Structure 1
Amino acid sequence: MKMDTVTEAENLLRLIKRMLLERDYDGVKMLFQSPTVFAEIEPHMAAIAMELYNEICAPTLTDDTNVDDAPLFDCVNELLKIVARYASLHPFMLELMEKIEESSSIAIFSAYLRALQVVLLRQGSAKPQAIEWCLSSVVTRIRELPLPDYLSEGYDEQQAHLLEQEQQIEQLMAHYITIDLCYEPLLKAVLQQDARAPIFRDCGLNRRNVLTCFLLQLLGKPLALLEVSNVPKRLLQPGQAHTCTPSPWRLRPELTQQNYLLARANAGKTQTYVQQVQHTLTSDITRLLGDPYYLLGLVEQRARWKRRLDAANGVYEMSSHNMFLIDDKLPLPALAMYYHALLVGQLLPATAPKIYAPLFLFESSLYLVAVLLEQPEPPLQHCGLRLNDYMLSILTEAVPQRSLDLEVHKRYCEALCKITGYSPQEPLRQLGLQVLHHYILAFEDAAKYFILKNLLETLQHDGILGYLAGMYKDLVAAALEKKAPLSDVYSGIKFRSMLLRCVCVLPQDVKSDLLLHSVSLSNALNILRYFAMADLENRTGFWHALPEIEERLLQPLGKALNFSLAHYKAYRERVRNGQSASDDELMQKQLNMLAVNISNSGMGGEGEGDGNLPDIGREEKLEVLAGSITGLESLRVLYLLASDNLEQSIARRKQATATNTTTPTAMELELEQR
C-alpha cells in the first residue's frame, strides 16, 4: 500500500511536468480547481511539494520566462502557491526567504511573496521567531532596492512633483503595494485572534508584536525619503490609473493595482502612491497597537534610562520581555515617521485616547524629533522639523523650566542649530529657524533665558547668534511695554550678564575679524540703540551696565573699525598698483574663500583638479576688497548711530532728572529712532 502511494505521487509529478511541457496550462489549472480531481491528488501533494518547487517552480520563475513565455510564468506562479500549502514548512520558509532577498524584479518578488503569505498563515501564532525572520527578509529586500541619489541628498519642490515618475521609485512603490497585499490576510488573522486591543499588553516576542514592528520598519527608509506631503497633490480622477503604473503586475485579478487604488483611496480624496502606502501602513499599525500613543512611553524609556546589556547592538535590559526596546526590531527613525504620519499627516483616529497631557506628548516626541534631525538625509530632517512644529502647536501652557532637566533638550538644540546654520537646503534652514523660534517661545520666561544664554555662549554661527540676541531684545521689549515689574531674567544681574557675556561681545578684542562677526555685532549695536532710547528709566539696569559695555565693546570696536578700514583700503591700493601682498593673512583668508567658490562653481579652468586653489585675478581681488570695505563701512555707520543715540539718551536722562519731566512714549522713541 505504501509503495502504491509513492508510485501514485511520482506519477502525479510526471503528469504535471508533461502537461507543462505540452503547454496544457488549462489542464494544470483543472487539476487543482476541480473538486473531484483535486480530492484524488491532494493526499499525494505533501510528498511531491518540494520536488515541484525544486524541479519546476524555482527553475521556471525567472525574468527570462516572464518576458519570453508569460503564460508559463503565470501558470507556475499559481502552482507555487499550491506548493506553499503542502511543502514542509520550515525548509520551504528558508527557500522563500532566500528567493525574496535575491529577487531581481517585482514579478519574482511578488511570486514568492504570495507563497510566503500562505506559509505565514499556515504557521499561525506558533514560533513567532520564524515569522520574524521571514518578514525581515522582506525588509532587507526593500532596503536594497536601487534609488536615485537625490533622495538622500535632498530635492526641491519641482523634483518632488516628479518623484513617482522615476522608474526606480515606480519599482519601489510596486514592491510596497505588493507587500501590503501580502500581509493583509495575516493582519486580519492577528486581529481576529485578539479582537480587543490589550491595555496591559504582552510586549514579548509574539505574532502581533512581530507584525507591528515589521510594519513600522516599512515606514522608515526608503519610504521615509519619499515624504512629499508638503507638495501640492496632483489630481487623479476616480477610477483613473496613475501615470506611473508599475509593470509587470501578474497578480490575481482581484489584486490588481487598479483595484488596490480604488480600495485604498479615501472617498473624495486624491492621494499619490506614496501617500496611499503611508496611510495604509499607519492605519494598520494603529489597529495593531490599539492606543497609538503607547510606544511614546517606550521611546523615553529607551533614550532616558540607558541600562543596556549590549550597547553596541542596542539591546536593553529586560528587552527579552519587551521587543520594542531593541533597536533592530524597532528603529527609532521609523517610529518617528509613524508619529509624523499620525500627527502631521492627520491620520490620528478619532478613537485615540484624549487623556495624554500635551506636555507629555511634547517631551516624549522630542526624542524622536532629535533622532530625525540627526539623520543625514534632508527629507528626514524636514519631517523632524514638521513633527516638532506640530507638537509645539498643541501645547496649551508654557513649558516649565524643569523640563530642561531632560538631556534630550541639549541634544535637540545641537541638531536643530546645526541644520539651521549649515544645511545646504535653504527651505530647511528657514524652517529650522522658524521652529527654533517657536521652541524657545514655548517655555516660561526663566527657561527662555536659560536656553538663549546657553545657545549664545556655545554656538559659533554668527547669523544664529545675531538672531538669538535680537530675540532676547524682543522679549525684554515686550516686558518693558507692560507697567508691571520686570522679571529677574529681563533686568538686574541676569540682564547684565546676558548683555556683557553673550550679546555685547567682541570675541578677540581689537584683533577680531569684524566681517566674520558682522551680523552679531550689528545686532549688538542695534540692541544698544534700542535700550538707550526705550529704557530711560533704567528698569532693566541697562545704564548700570553701560560703562562696562563701552569698555568691552564700543571702545575696542571703534579702534578695530578704523584699523580694518585703513588696512583694507591700503591693500586695495596695493592691488590696483599691481603689488603682491601674499603675506597678509587676513586678506589671504578672504581671497582663499573666493578661490574656493570659483573652484566649486567649475569656473576655475583646467589643471586645477589637484586640490590647488585657482589663481585669483586682479579684478576678482578688487571685487572681494570692495565688498569687504562696504561691509565695514555699513558696520561703522551703525556704530556711529549707536554712539550718537547713547549720547542723546544720556543727555535726555540728565534733563529728565533735572526737570522731573516724563519720559517719551515708546511710539515717540520709535519715530525718533527712525
Structure 2
Amino acid sequence: MPEEQSQTIMAVDELQAIVQRCQILEEADFKGEDFNLFQVAGQKCLEDGYAAQLLEVIQNEKNKVIIKNMGWNLISPLVRCIFMYKQEDDKREHCLKILDQLAELCNPKELFLSLLEQIEQTSGEQVCQTVMLLLQPLQTVLLKLQNKKAYSVGLSLAMIMNQLTPLPVPYTKQQIEEDKLGLCQCCNAVVDFAKPFVNELVKNMEKSSEYNDVELKEELLKFCMKSLKYPLLTAQLEQLEGIEEHPFRHFATEIVDILWDIKELIPLVFLRHRDRSPHWENQEFAEMEQKNSADSLACLSYLIFVQHLGIACFPVVFSPSYLLQCNMTHIEVLLKRTEESMLSKGLDLFESCLLRMEDDSLLHQYLEFRTFINVPQDLVKVMTLCPIEHLRKKSLNILQLFIDKFDAEGKYTLFRCLLKTSNHAGVEGYIIKNIKDQIHSSLTKACDNVWFTGHHLISLLDLVLMLPEGAETDLLQHSDRIMASLNLLRYLVIKDCESDNQTGVWTTLAKIERNFLKPLHVGLNMSKAHYEAEIKNKKENRKEAHSSNTVCSVTVGGEKMPAMTTEMQLQVLHSALFTFDLIESVLARVEELIEVKIKAVMDEHS
C-alpha cells in the first residue's frame, strides 16, 4: 500500500476512533484533548481530499452531540480547503455541505465566534470571497441566538464592514463591471444578510406601538451609517449605460429602505442635530465619530435630493429655502474634501437645492447662518485650487446660481464677503462683473434698488475701486480684478449722468482718483519700466551667450516660472507688457470720459 494512501486512511481511521470513543461519553465529560484530536483528524481528512468521509461522520445522527460541541473547530481548515478546491467541484461541494451542516448542528455561540474570527483573520483579495462564503452560515447561527442577539448582529455587521473598508471602491464603468475584488457583489450580499433582522424589528414594531427594540435598531442604524460612509460616499452612483442594475445604486436603495423601515430616515435628514452618540471620555474618538457621522449624513442627503432614492417617502411641505438650509451643513462637509467622487457629490447636492428655488427669493437673513458664508468660500477654493477642470467650471456655475437666488441685500452682503475673503484676482474680477450687472439692473428697471445705488453702493465701490497695496500692487497678478474695476468705472461714468448721480460715483470721484486711478498710473509706469529693463537685459545676455538655448528661470506675477530658454522668457515678458498696455488704454479711456463729462457740466453752468 502506498505510504500517502496509508497516511490518509490513518487520518480517516483516527477520526472514526475519536468519534467512537466520544460517542459513549456524556457531553460534560468531553476533554480539551478530545477537541484537539477531533480538530487535527478532521483537518487532515479535509486537506487530503477526504471531505466525503468527514461529511458522513457529521451527518451521522449518533455524532450529533460531538458535532454540536466540537464542530466549530473545523471552520478555519474548512474555509482554507474550499478556496483550495476551487477547480475540483466534487471536493468543494462536499466542503460546502459540511459548512451548511455545521451551521445547523453546532453550538450557536461557539460557531458564531469561530465564524467571526475567520472573517477577522482574512485580508486582501480574499476578504470579499470569505465574507460571501460565511454570510449564510453566520445568518443561520444569529437567527438561532436568543440572548444578546442585537449585540451579536451588530458585532457581525461591524466586523464585516471593517474588513471591507480598506478595499478600493470601483468607480469607472469598467471597474464596476469587472468588480475585481468582488466588492459590489459582497455589499449587496451583506444587505441580504441583514434583512431578516430588519424584518424582525419591523414586525415587532408593527405588533405594538410601544415596542421598541432600541439595541437592535441602534445596531442596524450603525450599519447603515457605516455603509453611507463606505462604500457609498466614494462610489459613483449615476446610472451607467449598459449596466442594467448598477450594484452600488441597488445597495444605496436598500440602505435607504432599511432606514425608512426602522423609522430613522426622516429623523436623520431633518433632526440631524440631536445627540445620538454617547458622551465619549476620549475626545479624539468623539471627534472621529462626529466626523464619520457628518460624512454619512452628507451622503444620505445626496442620495435623497440628487439621486431621489426614498424621496417618495418625504412630505412635500418643506420650502426650497428650508431644504437648502438643511443641506448646507452637508454641502460644506463634501466641498471640504479633495476626492473627485465626494467633491462632485457636494456640487450636485448644492446645485440640486438651488435649482428648486426662484431667483431673488432667498432672504438676506440666511447669510447670518455660518454655513451660508462658509460654503461660497469653499466653492471659491474648488474654483481656484481643484486640479479637475470640469469641477472648477461647475463650481463657478454654481456660485452664479447661489448669487442669483438671493434678494438684493443678500447679493450685496455676499459680494462684500467674497471681495474680502477670496484672495484671488480672477474671482474678485468675476464678483465685480456681477456688481456691474446689479447696478445695470437697478438703473434700467423701474424698481428702486437701494443696495446698488446711493450710499450703499459707494461703500461697496470703496472695496472695488482701489489697489490692494497701492502703487506697489503686483499689477500682473491682479490684472483680472483691475480690468473688471476699470470696466465698472467706465460703465458708471457713461451710464450715470452727474446731474442724476444715482450711483453716487460723481460725489466720490476725488476718492476714486486718490485710491485707484493715480496709484494705478504710478504702478503702470513702474511695472512697464521694470519689464522693459528685464527685456533689455535678456537680449544683452543672449548676445553674450551667443545662444538662445540658455536655460534659466524668471519670476512673473510673484510666481517663479518653470525653467525656460531665453526666447521663452522674452515671450512671457512681452506678454506682460501687452497686459500693461491693455490696462493703460482702458484707464486712458475712463479718464477721458470723466474729463468730457465734467467739461460738459461746467459748460452748462457757465
TM score, norm. by length of structure 1? 0.74
Deviation at 1:518, TM superposition (A): 0.7
Amino acid at match of 2:472: K
The 2-side partners of 1:137 and 1:654 are apart by 85
Contact 1:46/1:88 (<8 A) preserved = no
The 2-side partners of 1:416 and 1:45 are apart by 66
Amino acid at match of 1:276: H
Amino acid at match of 1:433: L
Deviation at 1:498, TM superposition (A): 0.9
Write out aligned runs for 1:214-253 (5 A): 214-229=223-238, 233-236=240-243
Deviation at 1:222, TM superposition (A): 3.5
* Residues 1:189 and 2:200 are matched in the alignment: yes
Contact 1:217/1:334 (<8 A) preserved = yes
Deviation at 1:333, TM superposition (A): 1.2
Amino acid at match of 1:632: F
Q: 1:8 to 1:429 in 2, by over 3 A?
A: same
The 1-side partners of 2:602 and 2:446 are apart by 23
Q: 1:24 to 1:576 in 2, by over 3 A?
A: closer
Contact 1:510/1:556 (<8 A) preserved = yes
Q: Residue 388 of structure 1: which of 350, 355, 371 is its match?
A: 350
Write out aligned runs for 1:243-392 (5 A): 270-289=244-263, 292-301=265-274, 311-314=283-286, 327=290, 331-392=293-354
Q: Residue 137 of structure 1: which of 159, 165, 174 is its match?
A: 159
Amino acid at match of 2:591: S
Amino acid at match of 1:618: T
The 2-side partners of 1:407 and 1:307 are apart by 25
Q: 1:128 to 1:404 in 2, by over 3 A?
A: farther
Deviation at 1:368, TM superposition (A): 0.9
Q: Residue 185 of structure 2: which of 151, 169, 174 is its match?
A: 174
Contact 1:486/1:540 (<8 A) preserved = no
Amino acid at match of 1:225: T
Structure of higher RCO (CA pairs closer than 8 Å, 6+ residues apart): 1
Q: Which residue of 2 aligns with 1:542?
A: 505
* Residues 1:164 and 2:176 are matched in the alignment: yes
The 2-side partners of 1:368 and 1:197 are apart by 35
Deviation at 1:91, TM superposition (A): 4.4
Contact 1:93/1:119 (<8 A) preserved = yes
* Residues 1:505 and 2:474 are matched in the alignment: no
CA RMSD of the aligned region, Å? 3.9
Deviation at 1:549, TM superposition (A): 1.0
Q: 1:45 to 1:644 in 2, by over 3 A?
A: farther
Q: Residue 398 of structure 1: which of 340, 361, 376 is its match?
A: 361
The 2-side partners of 1:383 and 1:477 are apart by 35
Secondary structure of the corresponding residue to residue 507 of structure 2: helix
Deviation at 1:285, TM superposition (A): 2.8
Q: Which residue of 1 aligns with 2:14?
A: none
Deviation at 1:327, TM superposition (A): 3.0
The 2-side partners of 1:302 and 1:470 are apart by 44
Cα deviation, 1:81-134, whole Å, max 9, x if unaligned, reads: 443345444444333333223324232221122222223323468453333222
* Residues 1:644 and 2:592 are matched in the alignment: yes
**Residues paired across the two proteins, number:** 564
Deviation at 1:22, TM superposition (A): 6.9
Amino acid at match of 2:345: C
The 1-side partners of 2:152 and 2:313 are apart by 33
Cα deviation, 1:359-405, whole Å, max 9, x if unaligned, reads: 33211211111111112312101101111111122236823233223
* Residues 1:529 and 2:490 are matched in the alignment: yes
TM score, norm. by length of structure 2? 0.82
Q: Residue 77 of structure 2: which of 48, 56, 59 is its match?
A: 59
Deviation at 1:19, TM superposition (A): 8.6
Contact 2:108/2:141 (<8 A) preserved = yes
Secondary structure of the corresponding residue to residue 356 of structure 1: coil
Secondary structure of the corresponding residue to residue 556 of structure 2: helix
Cα deviation, 1:459-515, whole Å, max 9, x if unaligned, reads: 21111111112112212221222223222x2123221111112x1120111111001
Secondary structure of the corresponding residue to residue 439 of structure 1: helix
The 2-side partners of 1:79 and 1:57 are apart by 9
The 1-side partners of 2:599 and 2:245 are apart by 67
Cα deviation, 1:248-276, whole Å, max 9, x if unaligned, reads: xxxxxxxxxxxxxxxxxxxxxx3433333
Cα deviation, 1:2-31, whole Å, max 9, x if unaligned, reads: 9555599999x7998899677574994897
Amino acid at match of 1:619: E
Contact 2:524/2:584 (<8 A) preserved = yes
Contact 1:496/1:545 (<8 A) preserved = yes
Q: Residue 209 of structure 1: which of 200, 203, 218 is its match?
A: 218
* Residues 1:128 and 2:150 are matched in the alignment: yes
* Residues 1:475 and 2:438 are matched in the alignment: yes
Contact 2:425/2:478 (<8 A) preserved = yes
Deviation at 1:65, TM superposition (A): 1.4
Deviation at 1:554, TM superposition (A): 0.9
The 2-side partners of 1:125 and 1:390 are apart by 46
* Residues 1:621 and 2:584 are matched in the alignment: no
Amino acid at match of 2:194: Y
The 2-side partners of 1:26 and 1:340 are apart by 54
Q: 1:650 to 1:195 in 2, by over 3 A?
A: farther
Cα deviation, 1:300-324, whole Å, max 9, x if unaligned, reads: 4569x999875422279xxxxxxxx
Q: 1:308 to 1:17 in 2, by over 3 A?
A: closer
Q: Which residue of 2 aligns with 1:246?
A: none
Contact 2:453/2:503 (<8 A) preserved = yes
Deviation at 1:542, TM superposition (A): 2.0
Write out aligned runs for 1:12-91 (5 A): 23=50, 25=52, 28=55, 40=61, 45=64, 47-49=66-68, 51-54=70-73, 56-62=74-80, 64-67=83-86, 69-91=88-110
The 1-side partners of 2:341 and 2:517 are apart by 44
The 2-side partners of 1:552 and 1:513 are apart by 15
Contact 1:369/1:388 (<8 A) preserved = yes
Secondary structure of the corresponding residue to residue 206 of structure 2: coil
Contact 1:400/1:444 (<8 A) preserved = yes
Q: Which residue of 1 aligns with 2:6?
A: none
* Residues 1:449 and 2:397 are matched in the alignment: no
Write out aligned runs for 1:586-605 (5 A): 588-590=554-556, 593=559, 595-596=561-562
Deviation at 1:591, TM superposition (A): 9.3
- Which shifted more, 616-625 or 91-100? 91-100
The 2-side partners of 1:184 and 1:580 are apart by 81
The 1-side partners of 2:601 and 2:108 are apart by 91
Cα deviation, 1:620-653, whole Å, max 9, x if unaligned, reads: 2212212212222222222223223333444556
Contact 2:256/2:309 (<8 A) preserved = yes
Q: Which residue of 1 aligns with 2:134?
A: 112
- Which shifted more, 356-365 or 132-141? 356-365
Amino acid at match of 1:136: A
Decide which structure has the larger Cα Rg and report it: 2
Q: Which residue of 1 aligns with 2:7?
A: none
Q: 1:53 to 1:201 in 2, by over 3 A?
A: closer
The 2-side partners of 1:357 and 1:363 are apart by 10
The 2-side partners of 1:646 and 1:2 are apart by 110
The 2-side partners of 1:653 and 1:483 are apart by 26
Contact 2:224/2:255 (<8 A) preserved = yes
Secondary structure of the corresponding residue to residue 631 of structure 1: helix
The 1-side partners of 2:425 and 2:509 are apart by 23
